[in-house]
Amino acid sequence: MTDQPAATLREAIDAADERHDVPAVSQATPELPAAAAATGRFVLLSIASAHYAVPEAFVTELERVPRVTTVPRVPAWLLGVTNLRGDIVSVIDMRTYLGLAPSPSSTGRMLVVRLLDEPFTTGVIVDAVDRIVTLRAEDVKAPASPLDGALAPFVSGVCTAGDRLVAVLDVDRLLRSPDIRQFDEPSKDSSC
């Protein structure tokens, strides 16, 4: 084992598991269906005073908020793009996406999230990332009342993690949403 810092969240977790003699969890493969990521390990994060859980399989890295190059004529929630080790990645401010005041870049964190079955990656700025937890599928229940707000269509359920009520986000559905994908280039197969 080398003393170099881990480059990805997965490497950091594997290194911590090695130090504590915990068997490593297998790396999710791009062919893994999104439903399979609905149980298991989740990254807990917060936006404003709300707590969310994101399936770990969708998270490739956790970073400080990087320098972002703004892009003209885009929604306010799309901060711009950043260079992440040679890859240009769009950066979304989740507070602004939710209609709240922008995240302070000095205290926020950026989760780099991806789709499992296609090469689509983006950075998501949140207020804080707490820890990784294991959630059982039977603990995730439908919300007691209908949800509202920009993330409501992407909440697959709620559960309790410790003393917190946590909304479980369907990251696959969020990353495929028309809002997020509005800047994709049209496919070569589409006819005019």
Query: For residue 132, is it within any domain?
Result: yes
pLDDT surpasses 70 at 177? yes
pLDDT digits (tens, 9 = 90+) for 69-123: 999 999 999 999 999 988 999 999 999 999 898 877 678 899 999 999 999 999 9
pLDDT digits (tens, 9 = 90+) for 152-174: 889 989 998 888 889 999 999 99
pLDDT surpasses 60 at 32? no
pLDDT surpasses 50 at 34? no
pLDDT score for 150: 82
Query: For residue 127, is it within any domain?
Result: yes
pLDDT score for 27: 34
pLDDT score for 12: 57
For residues 85 and 91, is the Cβ–Cβ distance under 8 A?
no
Query: For residue 191, is it within any domain?
Result: no
Q: Helices (H) and strands (E) in the chain — how many of each?
A: 4, 10
pLDDT surpasses 80 at 139? yes
Domain containing 58 — which CATH number? Answer: 2.40.50.180
Region 126-143 average pLDDT: 89
Distance CA 134, CA 42 (A): 6
Q: Which tokens go with 96?
A: 């602004």
Query: For residue 25, is it within any domain?
Result: no
Query: For residue 189, is it within any domain?
Result: no
Query: For residue 93, is it within any domain?
Result: yes
- What is the domain extent for residue 168? 40-181
**Confidence tier at 186 by pLDDT (50, 70, 90):** low
pLDDT score for 31: 33
Strands 109-114 and 155-161, by their bridges, are unpaired
pLDDT surpasses 90 at 185? no
DSSP string, 43-76: EEEEETTEEEEEEGGGEEEEEE----B--SSS-T
What percentage of residues in the chain have a pLDDT greater than 70?
75
pLDDT score for 78: 94
Query: For residue 23, is it within any domain?
Result: no
Q: Which tokens go with 39?
A: 């149980």
**Confidence tier at 28 by pLDDT (50, 70, 90):** very low
Q: How many domains does the chain have?
A: 1
Specify the 3-state DSSP secondary structure of 9: helix
Query: For residue 155, is it within any domain?
Result: yes
pLDDT digits (tens, 9 = 90+) for 44-79: 999 988 999 999 999 999 989 999 999 999 999 999
